[in-house]
Amino acid sequence: MSTTVELSRAGRERTEAVSGLFDALIAFSRSLKARGADWSQLSDDLSRGDIVTLGVLDAHGSIRPGHIAAKLSVDPSVVSRQLAGLHRLGLVERGPDPADRRAELISLTATGRERLLQARDAMCAALADRLDHWGLDEVRTATAMVEDLGQRLHEPLARPPVAGTTTDHSTRTTAAAKDTP
């Protein structure tokens, strides 16, 4: 009987911990959105989305617009508008896909790469200032955990949630929990 009680308590504690993580992620998402203005201070003409798109091109080389959209989990029309603006600024170039002449490949220009590096350097410096109270090991641990969380959240659920089941969130009283949809 004692083992059952301990398992039940461990299950409740895990549920509460996951609920706390969920609330922290909601607050984290809000913080990222609130800091969106920081991106515009870096550049007169590049948005956060533009910089992220340039980052995909830097990481993957020449790539089709549809693949960029898939990597960013956005509608292709969003990427199409971004690419038009980035092309006008001379940050990307368009060319035919040698494997399929009907398809288009997008590549980062040297100017695009330089602008991306400038933006990343500025954002990393701002983040370093905000994290000046963390040691190197804490930064590395946070990086590993965020990378793992991002990969796991990108994967589909192994099993869909069972209809009619709920998680008890009544123990959470944080401000984030009150605003959680």
User: For residue 108, what are the β-bridge partners?
Assistant: 92
Element holding 49 (H helix, E strand): helix 48-60
**Quick count: other Cβ atoms within 10 Å of Cβ 23?**
20
d(C-alpha 29, C-alpha 15), whole Å: 21
Check whether 117 has a pLDDT greater than 80. Answer: yes
Q: What is the DSSP letter of 73?
A: T
pLDDT at 71: 92
Reported pTM? 0.71
Instruction: Measure the CA–CA gap between 124 and 170, rounded to whole angstroms.
Output: 38
pLDDT exceeding 90 applies to what percent of the chain?
51
Per residue in 51-103, pLDDT (tens digit) is: 999 999 999 999 999 999 999 989 999 999 999 999 999 999 999 988 888 88
For residue 133, pLDDT beyond 90: yes
Nearest to 92 by CA among 76, 103, 81: 81
- Which CATH number is 41-154 given? 1.10.10.10
CB 54 within 8 A of CB 86: yes
DSSP class of residue 101 equals E
Average pLDDT over residues 120-129: 87
Domain ranges of the chain: 1-34, 41-154
Q: Does an H or E element contain 104, and which?
A: strand 100-108
Check whether 172 has a pLDDT greater than 60.
Answer: no
Measure the CA–CA gap between 96 and 64, rounded to whole angstroms.
Answer: 10
* Residue, of 175 and 29, whose pLDDT is higher: 29
Residue type, 135: G
d(CA 66, CA 74): 10
pLDDT band at 169 (very low <50, low <70, confident <90, very high): very low
Name the strand (E) or helix (H) holding 22. Answer: helix 2-34
The mean of the pLDDT values for the chain is 84
Q: Is 70 exceeded by the pLDDT of residue 163? A: no
For residues 93 and 107, the answer to whether their CB atoms sit within 8 Å is yes
pLDDT-derived band of residue 123, with 50, 70 and 90 as boundaries? confident
Distance of alpha carbon 37 from the chain centroid: 17
